[in-house]
Chain A
Amino acid sequence: MQKYLIRRLLLVIPTLWLVISLLFLGVNLLPGDYVTIKLSNLEASGATTQPADIIGDIEIERTLHRVVAGDSVDSLALFYGVAPEEIVDLNPRIDLDSELIPGSSIIIIDGQLLSVIARQERLSLPEDVDQGVALLIERNPDVDFSTFAGEPFAQAGTTLKLRDSTNINELANVNRVTPEDYLNVNLVGTPSNPDGELAADTPLLPGTTIIAPTREITESSVKHRLGLDKPLGIQYVEFIWDTIRLKFRPSFQTNEPSMDIFLRTLPRTLHLNVYALIVAIVVALPVGVFSAMRQDRLPDYLLRGFAIFALAAPSFWVATMLIFVVSPGSLFEGGLWSIPLAEEEARSIFKSVPGFFALYTIPAVAGGIAAGAGLMRITRSELLEVLRQDYVRTAWSKGLRERQVIRRHAFRNALVPVLSVFGLQVAALVGGNIILEVLFNIPGVGLALLQRIYQADTPVIATMVFFLALFVIIVNIIIDVSYALIDPRIRYA
């Protein structure tokens, strides 16, 4: 047994190596890569060059709309998502029906959206505006922010603190250049740095201005920053070394550690899958036993028919139909599953037990039914097998009651193969429920993985897939070993 265990564990090493290599192959050699997507995104947002950097406070102005021909109060209200009355309130000169003069300016908000400020003032990477907004709120604790169409904005006339202090490293990151680019253009005679002594981590206080490197972002600069310009062989060795130490590279997209993203999304996936497995067991075992005890009678036929159909029906369809039956509106605007549950704190639903069940029950039932059907079939057929054994017949002839025969003699022995199938389903469910996470907007590993795959965010994909594969490998080992532990007839050489 020990010998087998050791051999089994040793064989994991080449398997893992192959898993990592296949992963590297998958994310690198096939067409379609992050740099191309990134560059076209940057091009679309017009952010391929860098203007000067401002460090310090900013005066909030009103947000205006420049009227063009065809604009009306209604159309503007529709476009900005506000009530027409609000626009009229802010602009004393117009009323609901008045024609707007092209070229004139209309006040849309009495202030500026934090997301706009964050983008303009480069508080974060362009695609991470939320992070910038969060920074602005955090750095201005005494300012009251109102919301406009769901987004926070700052009142006109207030002054916002942009940064407590910063340094070249941070600026370089936000501006997608290297710290050296900054140091090179700020060597001598910048306004706040007359003696020319500047290091990458020198704190820069608010009010400081430094020269921004107006370097163009090109394919090679992006590749260089991400380390993608190295030869593939070196990248491969680094990839394996990183994976062995579990020190994965940060996300290309957000610079967040991949491991954090994985750990953040993992609980949601676990909730869903554990719940689904519980549903599967609770349904499968009693029903399987019941079906076996009533072999070839009507309930047996019905239950078997249901099980075969449940195996054939895809979980995403079952889920869709369940939603239709239970609460058709919940996938749509304002419904339970309509928002991606990314902002967990904002979702009080996670804090309450009823909320948890409301959120996970339908997905778990949909995911659990197919798994349960498989379990039920194997429980039934194994139990039937065992019921034919001599010792069960002995138990019957001793005059034991049905309950005792089934529970004590038959069921336990039938459980061994059921356990192995259960293990296989544990492994399969984690991958299979990705589609349910997508369908129900549950921010688990699956949904995150799919989003990262669309963005070609290689490090995060690699991290998540690696852990999923590792999980399958571990589950398989546990199945084999527990098999031997439960059933003494099995001996591994």
Chain B
Amino acid sequence: MSEPGADTGTIEEFAASQGLRVDDSGKLRNGLRWFATFMAQKRLGAAGVLLVFVWSVIAVGTVGDGGGWMGIGRYDSRDVFEIASATYADDKLANVLDGMDEDTSDAELRELVSDPEIYGPAAIDQGVAQEMIDYALRHIEEGTLLATLVDEEQIEIRDGTIHDVDALLATGTDNPLTAASLQGPSGKHWLGTDRAGHDLFSRVTEGARLSLYIGFFATLIGVGAGTVIGLVAGSLGGTVDLTVNRIMDAIQSYPPIVFLLLIASLTDPSALWVTLALSVLGIAPTNRIVRGSVIQIREMPYVEAARTIGASSIRIMVFHILPNLFAPLIVIFSITIGAFILAEAALSFLGLGTLDVSWGKMIADGRQFIVYSPWTSLWAGLALSSLVFGFNVLGDALRDVLDPRLRGSR
């Protein structure tokens, strides 16, 4: 095919010219063997692989229907009194019911709940009132009004129990509505329910999806961009390198959470923006490590050799330097995902994250009611910690095996 001694390009071309065959299955077999050794020798790392795998399966299983894994554990939360937006429900509900008569017809009822006046002076803000009206109207339409007035002091709730109006106005577990929406673990709701009566098992599994989604893509973008920048800066050196380093120093000077807060507060609360904001944070550390490796590698004899035979600098970067960065990059990747999942949870906790179900938000929600029930915060936090734990130990094990020089870099 070509004369011996000429630049034969890829190894496949060279093999073909010599009448040889590159055995792909050999690569695969070696890879599997490597993985088996890794799992056997690094027990913590194996635990990490397992945790990440389990959470990934859970996350993939929740795609689509929203809640629960493959429909398992997805419970209709309506049997828990159906309290829409239970945050406000307690006293607002009593206000609505206060205005009802025993023999109020549906039409009158509708009129009653539509009339902002009935909230009297206690109508705190229009948004809340409107929500409550919508809620009541929906139930009148569906014929599932959750409660009817027995007399002036008592209300019958749909499950047949009768409560005092005063009790519904009370705060805390004295209030039957709060008590009912915040249930502990049971056979019906494996992990209990949150303040709105949502099943926590479905919420926790759904939270995995967002965490993994944002963690993975933010890391992919951030580490990708950091690699390209570090590769170019490290290979070219000189002014480019100096400039890039200054910019990276500047970005790294911001405390990460401050940087996130700035970006998150100035943009829409969407998964896309959170991902992009996080990925910016991934660029600088990746760049630092990649650049360090590149500076070492570019002095290697084989790079020298490639340069001598006239390979372009892009070719050297892509075919000679990049493959050698594979090991540190894998390590950076798994460690960064864990850190980003934590950062996303922190943002959600502060109320600056996405609008989807998120573990950080669940912890914040549960915190408000932690006096009455710790379950919401507990499960969300445990799920979050276990996933991050998985990525951390996986990253540590990979680092020990692939690139011990990186030890202590975090």
Contact = CB atoms under 8 A, between A and B. Distances in A.
B175 to A, nearest CB: 15
B363 A18 contact: no
A289 to B, nearest CB: 17
B261 A434 contact: yes
A435 B407 CA distance: 28
Interface stretch (A118-126, A169-177, A309-317, A357-365): A309-317
Contacts of B261: 434, 449-450, 453
A312 B388 contact: yes
B377 A69 contact: no
Contacts of B263: 26, 30
A320 B377 contact: yes
Number of contact residues on B: which range applies? 35 or more
Contacts, number: 158
B254 A468 contact: yes
A308 B267 CA distance: 34
Contact of A314 (B120, B251, B256, B385): B385
Chain A interface: which size bin?
35 or more
B241 to A, nearest CB: 13
Nearest to A80: B121
Contacts of A449: 258, 261
A71 B120 contact: yes
Contact of A15 (B246, B255, B381, B408): B246
Contact of A329 (B346, B366, B371): B371
A84 interface: no
Interface string A455-493: 010000100010011101100000000000000000000
Contacts of B262: 26-27, 453, 461, 465
Contacts of A417: 408
B275 interface: no
B393 interface: yes
Given A30-B266, A328-B371, 11 more contacts: A18-B247, A30-B263, A314-B360, A314-B388, A331-B370, A427-B255, A431-B255, A434-B255, A434-B257, A434-B261, A465-B254
Interface of A: 11, 14-15, 18-19, 22, 26-27, 30-32, 68-71, 75-76, 78-79, 308-309, 311-314, 316-317, 320-321, 323-324, 328-329, 331-332, 374, 378, 381, 417, 421, 427-428, 430-432, 434-435, 438-439, 449-450, 453-454, 456, 461, 465, 468-470, 472-473
17 contacts: A22-B250, A32-B265, A71-B121, A75-B121, A312-B389, A313-B385, A313-B388, A320-B363, A323-B370, A381-B407, A431-B254, A434-B257, A435-B257, A435-B349, A461-B262, A468-B258, A472-B255
Interface of B: 44, 117-118, 120-122, 246-247, 249-258, 261-263, 265-267, 338, 342, 345-346, 349-350, 360, 363, 366-367, 370-371, 374, 377-378, 380-381, 384-386, 388-389, 392-393, 396, 407-408, 410
